[in-house]
Structure 1
Amino acid sequence: MAKQKKPLYDPETGIHRAKLWEIALYALNNSSTNIYMMAFMYVTYFLTGFCGVGVVLAGTITTIMRIWDGVTDPFVGMIVDKTNTRFGKNRPFIIIGNVILFVTSGIIYHVTPNLPMAARFPFYIVMYMLYIIGYTCQCVVTKSAQSCLTNDPEQRPYFTIFDSAYNTIIFAVLPVYVTGTLVPKYGGAAAFTTAAFFQELWLFCGVISAIAACMAVIALRRKDRTEFFGTGQAQKIGFKDYVDVISHNRAIQMLVVNASTDKLASSMMSSSVIMVMLYGIICGNYAQYGLMSAATSIPVVVGGMLVIRLVASRMGQKTGMLVGTYVSMASSIGIFLLFLLGDPKSLDVGMANGLNFFTAAYIALYVIKGSFNAMSGGLVIPMTADCADYEVYRTGKYVPGLMGTLFSFVDKLISSLAGTFVSLMIAVIGFTTTQPTQDTPYSAGIFWVTMACFIGAPMVGWICNLVAMHFYPLSKEFMAEIQEKVAEIKRQAQTENA
């Protein structure tokens, strides 16, 4: 007998669901902004090559701009919570944000190199501040629209399935495009000092990001309406409501601790200069970075889908976070021991000389870590929607914009330190005016700095995850109770307005 299909709305429980294709396309909004985030991972090379900025200052500027990014979040979140147009609460911010991203990043890479040297750095700062406003406008929707799209505890983790799949593809395709196409096209190691390299990277990423943003707008068309906004009616939200959330919503407090430390660690781990040091210097062949991303992308996507479906969807998002964290830690320890005791220069993902032990072990551990980390890292976004529902349960206030931007505010303030930390660490081993390239000779200092960022930083982040989840109150059972209470609040509001 075929399994009965669940209705899109259950009036008794108040559970409303999204169509699967809506979740799939909506997740592309996060991909749209992540494409720009990946493209700007190379911005320190742009700053040192075209603006005359030193390595440490370049990393510090990245930190300061991330702080500015965090500062803009609460203001944009407040605007989102007060917005209720004929085009919805969330969709206008996707469009506005993506347009700002495309225009400002294009100006940065096309105009800055043609200005007098003295004007380049100040001009970059101004344009990047405008770029950040667009980034914030689009990013807030990734979290704020979660609660109106679906409030089904079993369905919310599906966002993570699609999001992790898209991000794995992005993080696989872009390095292949950069290392396999752009770097050889623009002179190898000299590519990072060529304006055309950044301009072509901008166009490639900008077009794909715009397409993904349009798909997300289509996905929200049916659900971006007042009846799906928390209590089912427009509300007046004041500053005191924001203070109360920050002070008393334990769920969002713990989620912020979880995500911000995790993001700091992952930003350090995936830094472009760390990838150059890991694959270009320690392994001796930077092209292995692109090959590794391509070879593991599909297994990581499939593995991530399976563990999210089997663990998070069935056992709850909190349990999924814990399981993903434990397995990610274990597999990362295995990778460290492999690099410490094995021969990294034998890494041969293309298997030109056959499959050796180091390559097989590294790929296996990398896929395991990637699959479970996709669950623990990806669940943060739908868990933000749980926190928004918890606030309705706790106070009767629906503030998804605040939830998303409060989360992002602290997240960005802490993760903004990644660029500074990495720059300081490589400066300690002698790289103060230029960054390591694939032509830099191997040294013990390079190995330990790389391991500290690639393995050590994520381990610290995962330990913080475990502590935060110990105090995180939203279990699967409690979320079911919350949705029943929210449904009751909606029914009362409808009765009063009848």
Structure 2
Amino acid sequence: MERNKKETKPSQYRTAKFYEIILFSTNNTATNFYNFMMGFVTYYAVGVAGLAVFLISTLLTAMRIFDGVVDPFIGYVIDKTDGKFGKFRPYIWIGNLTMIGTIVLLFQTTHLVPENFRLYYFLAVYAVYILGYSLQTTVTKAGQNVITNDPKQRPLFSMFDGIFTTLFYSTAGIYVSNYLSSKYNGEFGLDFFTEFSTTFMVGSLILTVLATIGIWKKDRTEFFGLGAENQTDNIKFKDYAKIVKENRALQMLTLAASTDKLGSKIKSNSISGVLFFGIIIGDYGLMGALSAISILPGIFFNVFGSMIARKLGQKRTYVLAQSSAFLVNGLMMLVVLMGDPTKISLSNPNLMTVLFVGLFILATVQNTGDAMQISMISDVTDYETARSGAYVPGLIGTIFSFVDNFFSSFSNSIVGFVIAMVGYTNTLPEVGDASTPLLILLGIGLYLGGPMLGWLCSMIAMRFYPLDGKKMEEVQAIILERKEKGLITEDIHEVTDEFAVIKAEI
């Protein structure tokens, strides 16, 4: 029979305390501290450790692929975990402490290793760092599922995550471009990286404590999928392939997010920022100033987007944010190409300044889409539980990460290859380098064009993503039906027919 609104059981939704959503959303920002920091690792590897530009860019790409390869194994371990300290909390801390140890080794000892072994040492430490980073980021994607399944609350995770992400990246940009760069005379030396890494490790550690508090009460068996202790006992690692093959929502979301990520990683690469602001515009400090100016608008778009998602669903809101960002970036590209970017100045404002700054602020609408991706993973996890009875948030999160990392791993190589082609083979672009027509095109292409290509691909993928607001109501009703009937998967290869029967009944 078909359920109407009066027949929908309130118990099909698991709500959360407001503070739980707020605090756990800081886990993503805790790992963003390291993500941002490692965007500068090329400068350390080349300028301090003395490694070659293209070589290190290529190897960093390989390490990103390694990150993606180990992710599914991490997800499998998390899915099989259900102990005294929960499913997620142990991996938050193992991940964060591993990153602390490896970052200290990476930035404080690599340059001291004999030259013949330096590259191997760097890669070995970096590989262990990746394991720690993958552990904590997987918890962000997988752990939020237990906090709430209420369609009115899930977008709140995106909202707060977006707010914290906006605040972090804006203040981090100011910290580096205005404070550290000025303090160390624009040089990315050992002292720069010592202060940089220490500050960021402490910040990440504090947020990790807060995230642990946020998930503490929900990190229990009764909140895992169907609330049964044996719901993943019969799921083997080889069964993951079938889940991925049959879960269209997972396929399309990972494709959309990975192309987004590739574009954003190209833009956020420190070299792209130096090219665009330090050379094309001629004012590297402007990047930090604009980041500060765009904090409040970025927060506004996140809050506004969350409110829309509560009414229209996460899918429609995501597409709206990405299409808006695509349009704004396209207009910004035209302004820079058709005008004189060196006239952009906050101290001496003019028409170019007004147009560019206005569009830069509007472009923060992209933060809404970026944040929405993570909470959409929870929808995909619930879809799989409804479809098969299997609660595999680790799998869903790490498959997402695997494809995401595979695509985004090429960002360093793309940037490294591009600048090597114009003559930067043993050095990197520096603030104040002479601007040429070729560098202008490259800077605009990397900083603005890269994200646009990613958004275009993600919008196409979303056309085939099935989980709109109406579909998610159906999914939660199916999960409730499974709980009441005790339908836990015994054979992953029979789940499709079982899913169809339950769907027909409700």
Q: TM-score, normalised by structure 1?
A: 0.94
Q: Is the 8 A contact 2:281 2:341 kept in 1?
A: yes
1:62-461 alignment, distance < 5 Å: 62-188=60-186, 191-192=187-188, 194-234=189-229, 235=231, 236=233, 237-309=235-307, 311-349=308-346, 352-353=347-348, 355-371=349-365, 373-461=366-454
Confirm or deny: 8 A CA contact 2:25 2:160 kept in the other structure.
Answer: yes
Cα deviation digits, residues 389-417 of structure 1 (max 9, x gap): 00011111110000000000111011100
Distance in 2, matches of 1:26 and 1:397, equals 24
Q: C-alpha distance in 1, partners of 2:55/2:272?
A: 17
The answer (yes or no) to whether the contact 1:335–1:366 under 8 Å persists in 2 is yes
Q: For 1:38, which of 28, 36, 50 is the aligned residue? A: 36
d(CA) in 2 for partners of 1:358 and 1:29? 39
Equivalent residue letter for 2:160? F
Q: Which residue is equivalent to 1:4? A: none
Q: Which amino acid aligns with 2:241?
A: V
Unaligned runs of 5+ in 1: 1-9
| CA displacement, residues 336-382 of structure 1 (integer Å, 9 cap, x when unaligned) | 01101122112223xx23x32222222221222212x1121211111
Residue identity opposite 2:58 in structure 1: T
**Cα separation, 1, equivalents of 2:470 and 2:487:** 27
How far does the alpha carbon of each residue in 1:206-260 deviate from its partner, in whole angstroms, 9 at most, with x for none? 0000001110000001111111111111221212431111111000000011011
Q: Does structure 2 retain, via aligned residues, the 8 Å contact 1:320–1:376?
A: yes
Of 455-464 and 468-477, the range deviating more from structure 2: 455-464
- Once the 2 structures are TM-superposed, how far is the Cα of residue 11 of structure 1 from its aligned partner? 5.9
CA deviations over 1:10-29 (Å, ceiling 9, x no partner):
96441001112111111110
- Contact kept, 8 Å, 1:265 with 1:457, in 2: the verdict is yes
Which stretch has the larger CA shift, 52-61 or 154-163? Answer: 52-61
Q: Identity across aligned pairs (percent)?
A: 38
Q: Contact 1:296–1:363 at 8 Å: present in 2 too?
A: no
Alignment-derived partner of residue 462 in structure 2: 469
Tell me which amino acid in the other structure corresponds to 1:228.
Answer: F
CA-to-partner distance for each residue in 1:22-43, whole Å, 9 max, x for gaps?
Answer: 1111111000001100011111
| Pairwise CA distance, 1:335 | 0.4
CA–CA distance in structure 2, aligned partners of residues 292 and 479 of structure 1: 38
Amino acid paired to 1:229: F
Q: Helix, strand or coil for the counterpart of 2:216?
A: coil
Report the AA paired with residue 149 of structure 1.
Answer: I
- Provide the rounded CA distance (Å) in 2 between the counterparts of 1:444 and 1:53: 29
Q: Name the CA distance, whole Å, in 1 between partners of 2:89 and 2:409.
A: 27
Partners of 1:173 and 1:325 lie apart in 2 by 23
Uncovered stretches (5+) of structure 2, i.e. residues with no partner: 1-7, 489-506
Give the aligned partner of residue 494 of structure 2. Answer: none
Q: Which amino acid aligns with 1:143?
A: K
Q: Distance in 2 between matches of 1:11 and 1:210?
A: 40
Aligned amino acid, residue 350 of structure 2: N
CA contact (8 A) 2:159 2:305 kept: no
Residues 141-185 of structure 1: CA distance to partner in whole angstroms, max 9, x if unpaired?
Answer: 111112111101121111111111111111111121112222222
Whole-Å Cα distance in 1 between the matches of residues 424 and 358 of structure 2?
Answer: 33
Distance 2:89 2:357 in 1: 40
CA distance in 2, matches of 1:11, 1:469: 30
Separation in 1, partners of 2:47, 2:216: 44
Given that 1:113 and 1:195 are in contact with CA atoms closer than 8 Å, whether structure 2 keeps it comes out as no
Are 2:389 and 2:487, in contact at CA under 8 Å, matched by a contact in 1? no
Q: Does the Cα contact within 8 Å between 1:315 and 1:476 map onto a contact in 2?
A: yes
Residues 301, 368 of structure 2: 8 Å contact kept? no
Q: CA deviation at 1:456?
A: 1.7
- The alignment's C-alpha RMSD in Å is 1.5
For 2:115 and 2:34, the matched residues in 1 are separated by 25
Decide whether the 8 Å contact of 1:143 with 1:404 is kept in 2: yes
Count of aligned pairs? 478
Name the CA distance, whole Å, in 1 between partners of 2:305 and 2:344: 28
Work out the CA distance in 2 between the residues paired with 1:117 and 1:461: 39
CA distance in 1, matches of 2:377, 2:75: 13
